């Protein structure tokens, strides 16, 4: 099982050879994923006998049917988008090869489910098999990809030459191209909302955006994006910019733009990002606007940082934030979805040995980890298109942002892994000490708006909903369609997707119970949020004519230079 042909090119050998394999050996390549594997005397993987027997029987039946179909000269149906092109259907050998691959893939995943092990071990085995299956698909190899072969013939080899050029280009830039990156430039056609940098320290720049209304709400809005990505996911292009939308609703809007860490920030900790990041930004916004309280929004890890900042401030007896919005944010880390396969004591301890005392986690490692959470969509799809077919991926602002990666300070990363992903300490009152304070989320009585995406693979929807059980103040929870990014960046003008709300302010223990009383609405959730935020923004006052105030003077135009720093 260490080459493509040994796995799915069964058309070149009698199926009886494949059917005669010892099934108990099929998953031994993935045995190291079991927690005790590799230890002296570790037991081999075992299978539930009834499941194994049923799986063998099903395989034999499907394999015989496929073999008979091939003998009759009919083309098997391929229910997989990787093999949906007409070239596959027109090439019997290619179609048969793909059908055998899909059968073997289903069987291997069934074997993973039949393993006698705890849920986490089975999840790790499923993840490893999924990665291997994605890599071994016949569509990934020119010798078996009917579409790539057809295109090579039609272009007289030009597609192959172009594919080699694309491969060399991606090797030089260090990552697979998901979009035509030459079509985008930060500040030119992404991150274009007008504004100015009015404060900076070694961790972040603070951007103030120019009002587009004659009056603004008296309470300004501070946006805290994730530090593992760049802020302009919230300000892509004018027609899908969350920032522009907030400004158009009459909010005096500020954005925290994190610096892309280099060696000079290799010692920075979680406390630094909370106190010198989010808390510093809150105080600067208050000083510039003169507002006693502001509204704040945190996205993903930015929301986790914001929650810690609010908890530290509460422990100090300060309440500078009137309301908080949490977009696809983890507070309760008991369900971390597919990322949980990486997390255990051994892994976290290894990372602490690497980074706890300093260092930089490279952006490339972060980017590849997130890409391989969806390998067919975010890796092999582009390998096939870019290299085998010689295609240039179309320009797509979201994927350009996705490729504009950031580093992380090692101590920040190591502390985050242990205290949140491994030990889930944030939901334990007074367990964590952050910025010298014992923090307790139960002390946060402010109103909160919580958004989760139904198909989110990074912050699972159940985990997003779990925040309703953690935060004690007035709450509104919204579930949007789609995933971690596309669900959030869903402007009203597009009239796409939908969202769910519940108007009785009831938050039962489980998402399923909440959904039983929820109503689906077509389109974007942004207007719902805007209506909610307006109720916490105070009265309207004349919009400012200049950026900043007093010692906080404009430094440079938005989007600033920090966001342009490459990893």
Q: pLDDT digit string (tens) for 506-553?
A: 999 999 999 999 999 999 999 999 999 999 999 999 999 999 999 999
pLDDT of residue 457 exceeding 80, the answer is yes
CA dist 351 and 370 (Å) reads 17
pLDDT bucket at 25, cuts 50 / 70 / 90: low
Average pLDDT over residues 92-107: 93
Average pLDDT over residues 221-229: 97
pLDDT tens-digit series, residues 174-211 = 889 999 999 999 999 999 999 999 999 999 999 999 99
**Amino acid 41: pLDDT:** 47
**Amino acid 76: pLDDT:** 86
Would you kindly state where each structural domain of the chain is located, as residue ranges?
Answer: 4-153, 155-184+363-393, 195-362+407-564
Q: Which residue has the tokens 């039609």?
A: 154
Average pLDDT over residues 46-72: 90
The DSSP letter of residue 59 is H
CA dist 406 and 149 (Å) reads 37
| Cα separations in angstroms, 356 against 268, 361, 414, 437 | 10, 11, 6, 21
Average pLDDT over residues 407-415: 97
pLDDT bucket at 75, cuts 50 / 70 / 90: confident
**Amino acid 2: pLDDT:** 42
**Amino acid 28: pLDDT:** 54
Q: Which two three-digit tokens encode residue 93?
A: 């050998």
Average pLDDT over residues 245-249: 98
Average pLDDT over residues 451-458: 96
The DSSP letter of residue 278 is I
pLDDT of residue 462 exceeding 70, the answer is yes
Active site (annotated) includes residue 300: yes
**Amino acid 43: pLDDT:** 58
Helical residues (DSSP H) of 334-450, grouped into ranges: 345-355, 363-371, 375, 381-383, 397-403, 410-416
The SS3 call for residue 532 is helix
Average pLDDT over residues 225-254: 97
Q: Which residue has the tokens 């949490």?
A: 326
Q: How does strand 221-224 pair with strand 253-258?
A: parallel
For residue 559, say if its preceding peptide bond is cis, omega within 30 degrees of 0.
Answer: yes
**Amino acid 69: pLDDT:** 87
CA dist 506 and 465 (Å) reads 12
pLDDT bucket at 142, cuts 50 / 70 / 90: very high
Contact between residue 236 and residue 397 where contact means Cβ atoms under 8 Å apart:
yes
pLDDT of residue 137 exceeding 70, the answer is yes
**Amino acid 366: pLDDT:** 87
Q: Supply φ then ψ for residue 470, to 5 degrees.
A: -100, -40
Share of the chain above pLDDT 70, in %: 92
**When comparing pLDDT for 9 and 354, which is higher?**
354
Domain range 195-362+407-564, its CATH number among 3.40.50.1110, 3.40.50.1820, 3.40.50.80, 3.40.50.300: 3.40.50.1820
pLDDT of residue 56 exceeding 50, the answer is yes
Choosing from 300, 301, 330, 388, which is the catalytic residue? 300
The DSSP letter of residue 186 is B
pLDDT bucket at 74, cuts 50 / 70 / 90: confident
Q: Which two three-digit tokens encode residue 178?
A: 């998901």
**Amino acid 495: pLDDT:** 93
**Amino acid 523: pLDDT:** 97
CA dist 304 and 205 (Å) reads 19
Q: How does strand 195-200 pair with strand 204-209?
A: antiparallel
**Amino acid 44: pLDDT:** 73
pLDDT of residue 14 exceeding 60, the answer is no
pLDDT tens-digit series, residues 331-371 = 999 999 989 999 999 999 999 999 999 999 999 998 888 88
Indicate the burial class of 264 (C-beta count within 10 angstroms; 0-12, 13-18, 19 or more): exposed
Q: Which residues pair with 452 in a beta bridge?
A: 479
Lowest mean pLDDT segment, chosen from 40-44, 305-309, 416-420, 443-447: 40-44
Q: How does strand 433-434 pair with strand 437-438?
A: antiparallel
pLDDT of residue 82 exceeding 60, the answer is yes
**Amino acid 563: pLDDT:** 98
Instruction: Quote the mean pLDDT of the chain.
Output: 92
């Amino acid at each position: 099982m260490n080459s493509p042909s040994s796995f799915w090119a069964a058309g070149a050998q009698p199926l009886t050879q494949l059917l005669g394999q010892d099934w108990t050996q099929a998953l031994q390549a993935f045995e190291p994923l079991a927690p005790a594997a590799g230890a002296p005397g570790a037991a081999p993987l075992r299978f539930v006998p009834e499941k194994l027997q049923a799986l063998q029987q099903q395989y034999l039946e499907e394999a015989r049917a496929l073999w008979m179909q091939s003998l009759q000269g009919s083309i098997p149906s391929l229910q997989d988008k990787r093999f949906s092109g007409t070239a596959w259907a027109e090439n019997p050998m290619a179609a048969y090869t793909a059908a055998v691959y899909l059968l073997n893939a289903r069987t291997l995943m069934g074997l993973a489910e039949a393993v006698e092990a705890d849920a986490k071990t089975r999840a790790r085995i499923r993840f490893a098999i999924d990665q291997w299956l994605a890599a071994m698909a016949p569509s990934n190899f020119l010798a078996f990809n009917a579409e790539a072969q057809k295109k090579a013939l039609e272009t007289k080899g030009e597609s192959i030459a172009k594919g080699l050029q694309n491969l060399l280009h991606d090797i030089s830039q260090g990552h697979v191209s998901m979009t035509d990156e030459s079509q985008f430039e930060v500040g030119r056609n992404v991150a274009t909302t007008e504004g100015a940098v009015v404060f900076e320290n070694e961790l972040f720049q603070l951007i103030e955006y120019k009002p587009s209304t004659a009056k603004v709400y008296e309470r300004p809005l501070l946006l805290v994006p994730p530090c593992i990505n760049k802020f302009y996911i919230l300000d892509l292009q004018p027609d899908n910019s969350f920032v522009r939308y907030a400004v158009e609703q009459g909010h005096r809007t500020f954005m925290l733009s994190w610096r892309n860490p280099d060696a000079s920030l290799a010692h920075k900790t979680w406390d630094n990002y909370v106190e010198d990041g989010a808390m510093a930004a809150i105080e600067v916004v208050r000083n510039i606007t003169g507002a006693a309280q502001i509204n704040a929004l945190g996205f993903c890890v930015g929301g986790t940082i914001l929650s810690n900042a609010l908890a530290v401030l509460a422990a100090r007896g300060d309440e500078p934030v009137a309301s908080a919005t949490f977009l696809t944010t983890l507070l309760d880390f008991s369900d971390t979805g597919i990322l949980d396969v990486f997390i255990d004591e051994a892994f976290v301890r290894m990372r602490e040995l690497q980074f706890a005392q300093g260092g930089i986690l490279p952006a490339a490692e972060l980017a590849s980890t997130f890409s391989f959470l969806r390998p067919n969509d975010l890796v092999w799809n582009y390998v096939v298109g870019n290299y085998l077919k010689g295609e240039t991926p179309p320009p797509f602002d979201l994927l350009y942002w996705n490729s504009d990666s950031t580093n992380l300070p090692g101590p920040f990363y190591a502390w985050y892994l242990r205290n949140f992903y491994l030990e889930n300490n944030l939901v334990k009152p007074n367990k964590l000490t952050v910025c010298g304070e014992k923090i307790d989320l139960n002390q946060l009585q402010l109103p909160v708006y919580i958004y989760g995406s139904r198909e989110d693979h990074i912050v699972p929807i159940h985990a997003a909903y779990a925040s309703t059980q953690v935060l004690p103040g007035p709450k509104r929870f919204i579930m949007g369609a789609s995933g971690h990014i596309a669900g959030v960046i869903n402007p009203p003008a597009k009239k796409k997707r939908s969202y769910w709300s519940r108007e009785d302010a009831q938050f039962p223990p489980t998402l399923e119970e909440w959904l039983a009383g929820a109503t689906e609405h077509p389109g974007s959730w942004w207007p719902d949020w805007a209506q909610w935020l307006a109720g916490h923004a105070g009265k309207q006052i004349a919009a400012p004519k200049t950026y900043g105030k007093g010692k906080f003077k404009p430094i440079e135009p938005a989007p600033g230079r920090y966001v342009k720093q490459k990893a």
